[in-house]
Structure 1
């Protein structure tokens, strides 16, 4: 299976984990805040994404020390999250455009940057 297809599948699975934990937090654990429930859920989604990238998408990376990869992964995703927020602020708040379109644009940028960043920086051969 091509690497890019594995990357897409891993992203979908991480999204399912994120959403499932979000729903669990709200409906089973009774979190009073959707924002807090989502923050906790995002940590599970990010962990699932890291593990899937390490062992499924870029399996050659499983030979390297996980802590160095984890640090680079967190730095990459933190930077992309800040950039995503900046794009949303510029698009919707500053320019007054529809936030839904901005979200799609920012998410497409996030998808591309995370693939390239994971391939070249985090799980490099």
Structure 2
């Protein structure tokens, strides 16, 4: 393997590891707010409660991606922020839709639905952030 390819592979591996750490933190924030919305505020729809919680998770994810994962704080925060929000708006809609169908329509446990939706989110967001937002 060429030194340049080995270096790129190592950098990508480091980014992905940091992405996982950042994702766990953002997911913890998202899920914590979701539980608060459902159990404390008693929001009757898991889909609505999840939509509100997604805002907090997305903000945590953006800050972590910009400063920790991709280390791209030297670029325009306005451009990154708007691209990030566009990507996450689409992902949040799908995340909320999955949770709405899973919990509100099918009657399954919202925690399991949250995990299913989060796996979809994780895959889509890494690819979009790596190749579009923080490139």
- What's the counterpart of residue 47 of structure 2? 35
Contact 2:54-2:92 within 8 A present in 1 as well: no
Relative to structure 1, the CA distance from residue 121 to residue 2 in structure 2 (aligned partners, 3 Å threshold; closer, same or farther) is: same
1:117 aligns with 2:128: yes
Indicate the SS of the match to 1:63: coil
Aligned length: 108
Could you tell me which runs of 5 or more consecutive residues in structure 1 were left unpaired when the two chains were aligned: 89-99
How much is the aligned-residue C-alpha RMSD, in angstroms? 3.0
Distance in 2 separating the partners of 1:110 and 1:20: 17
Out of 77, 83, 94, the position equivalent to 1:66 is 77
Could you tell me which runs of 5 or more consecutive residues in structure 2 were left unpaired when the two chains were aligned: 1-12, 99-111
Contact 2:22-2:69 within 8 A present in 1 as well: yes
1:76 aligns with 2:97: no
TM-score computed with the length of structure 1 as normaliser = 0.69
* Cα deviations by residue, 1:11-69 (Å, 9 ceiling, x for unpaired): 1111110010011122223323322211100111111111110111011x111121110
Distance in 1 separating the partners of 2:118 and 2:40: 29
- What's the counterpart of residue 20 of structure 1? 32
Relative to structure 1, the CA distance from residue 67 to residue 44 in structure 2 (aligned partners, 3 Å threshold; closer, same or farther) is: same
Distance in 2 separating the partners of 1:50 and 1:2: 18
TM-score computed with the length of structure 2 as normaliser = 0.64
